[in-house]
Amino acid sequence: MDEWMCAAIAEARQGLAEGGIPIGSVLVRDGAILGRGRNRRVQDSDPMTHAEIDCLRKAGRIGSYRCAVLYSTLMPCYLCAGAVVQFGIETVIAGESATFGGARAFMESHGVIVRDLDLDECKQLMRDFIAANPRLWDEDIGE
């Protein structure tokens, strides 16, 4: 596992420690983290603050997102995939998609390269959270 996914996992763990949903994300370009974020829907009482959106907000205006790579501990949902496509992020690396399939096909249909690392650490983090908080998880994914 590379340092960027480790940084995304650290964000997810921080979110969990804050009482939130353990999903983390980092935006990387040229070997540097431009932004980092975590799902803050619970902490901020804001349905839009998914990890990837929080990450992009924290990256701020960076001009072109070309050559940037978005790392996320979980396959991005349609909201976050829409932001990826809208801003022209070329590559998404997900920690896992077993607990949530996300919008991989949507991103790929728009030319985004998507890699699923299928990491046990990411899957276990989500499985433990979902088992302990099924209603909160259902709310997060819109069920």
Confidence check: pLDDT of 48 > 90: yes
Q: Which of 3, 11, 18, 52 is catalytic?
A: 52
Q: For position 1, what pLDDT does the model report?
A: 64
**Could you report the per-residue pLDDT of 11-45, keeping only the tens digit for each?**
999 999 999 999 999 999 999 999 999 999 999 99
pLDDT > 90? residue 82: yes
In the chain, where are the structural domains located?
Answer: 3-141
Q: What is the pTM of this model?
A: 0.95
| Catalytic site includes residue 52 | yes
The H-assigned helical ranges of the chain are 3-17, 41-44, 51-59, 78-87, 104-109, 120-132, 134-140
> Which CATH class name applies to 3-141?
alpha beta
For residue 135, the model assigns a pLDDT of 87
pLDDT higher than threshold 80 for residue 4: yes
